[in-house]
Structure 1
Amino acid sequence: MTQANRPPRKPGRFNCASIPESLIDAELFGYEGGAFTGARTRGKPGKFELASGGTLFLDEIGDMPLNLQASLLHAVQNQEIVRVGGVSPIPIDTRVICATHRDLQAQVETGQFRADLYYRLNALELRMPALRERDDLAWLADQLLERIALREGLPERPVPSSLRARWMAYDWPGNVRQLETALLRFLISGDERLPETTATKHLHAGAGDHASPATTTLQAHLDRERDAYIRRTLADTDGDKDVAARRLGISRATLYRELRRRPPTLAPTGLGASSE
């Protein structure tokens, strides 16, 4: 069958971190009847069989136990599986897409992930930027607000511009899941609070009695500290944004967003708003 007249692939999904290690092989590759205590008499097909002719998404592949990675490599490489308790290989036609939040190359170097499996899976690598590195956070928040309100049957709330500014300045260590939770809380109760990051807690703990609650807010204080640190870093790197971004531990896109959000006077000459 040619690619042109091939029917659309059916989807399947498996989270490698959510299943007990002792059950992963049975869930992925299926099992024959009586293969283990509690097994169905007639056996059961696994995710690879069920997704044959389609696509299997393996989430959190970096959590796949090392002792099961050889079986996974065989399935991906040879397009066949052997059920637990079985002896005959079963041909499959399954495309595999994987995702992980871990550094697989580092895991390969430490022996936590098989090198041959890593290179077999890594045919096309797509890096999903962290939420703090994206330039579409405002758009994404609007989309999520609309979706959450519809899903939960909640009335939409107008979002104050001050809250939007705080969303843009926040680091979102929990990425989209954390953003969605914050938006749900806002829609339910109007609560505009954001959790403190490690950096925020450090600054807050070190403020002592020097900060006056009557004249400033924590967010305003943090914004000034953030601006000053970015200015010093840009000055130290003679305005080189690539070097500055690396020193700050953020992406170049995030640095540009910071510069666009702050008044031009906060940046050295020539480092204000950019068209990039």
Structure 2
Amino acid sequence: MVSASHSPAQNESMAPIARLSGIRNCFGDECVHDGLSLELPPGRITALVGGSGTGKTVLLRTLSMLRRPDAGQLELFGEDALAVGERAQRDLRRRIGLLFQGGALFTALTVLENVMLPLREHTSLRGHWLEELAMSKVLLAGLPADSAGKYPAELSGGMVKRAALARALALDPRLLILDEPTSGLDPIAAAGFDDLIRELTDSLGLTVIQATHDLDSIWRGSDVVAFLARKRVLAFAPAAELAQRDEPELVAYFQGSRSAEYAKLGTSQPGTSRGSA
């Protein structure tokens, strides 16, 4: 039995980084979420999946405090994110890194200048200290040093994603939120990005949630899958387990030929290389 002196620390380390309870998100009379609940386990990569119109991006915006839900509770890092004041909300947002779909880089700024933006806004760093820290994030995202002076239009699709990731990492977040991070990338670039996210998760102790429709990322790059359907999280489990469920939505999503091959090979393992399927 664990001694009492150790159990509080253990409980704290296992506490969810984020907890959503009874979330309702509506647009007029139409609700995309109603009674949705989800907990993000610390140090894990959660894939957020579901059919079109299930509100994956809306849920990420709620989680990142860019959209206030119409009902429900949001707890971040042990705090009631919807009840605290504006200053406390800003502090919570600083602990979240967000990679928007498509990167959303400022086209008139270089990669380095894009990464420096959150550092200018939220820290007192200036001059060469600011540039050095921003450059460290560029390198951390797997970009070559000479890319720092380039503009987004001069980058490949994969490099744009990595530049956006460098900006998301600028303030050393605990929670990293990714919206379709491999969308538009070729299989090799997508595999490299998945591997990078796994490496950063393990080395930095990040908690990651990524909305994705990429089956390779779902099977190879996630620890657990949150499946959206019926306006809520219908299932929360590793992909290999969801592929065995009999709910119609899960059957339709996971029992295609590619998922069947993954399930047969038992490749729903963190950190494995992306196959040719």
TM-score interval, smaller chain:
under 0.3
**Normalized per residue, which structure has more strand?**
2
What TM-score, normalized by structure 2, do the two folds share? 0.24
What TM-score, normalized by structure 1, do the two folds share? 0.24
**Normalized per residue, which structure has more helix?**
1
Between structure 1 and structure 2, the one with the greater Rg is: 1
Higher relative contact order (CA 8 A, sep 6+): 2
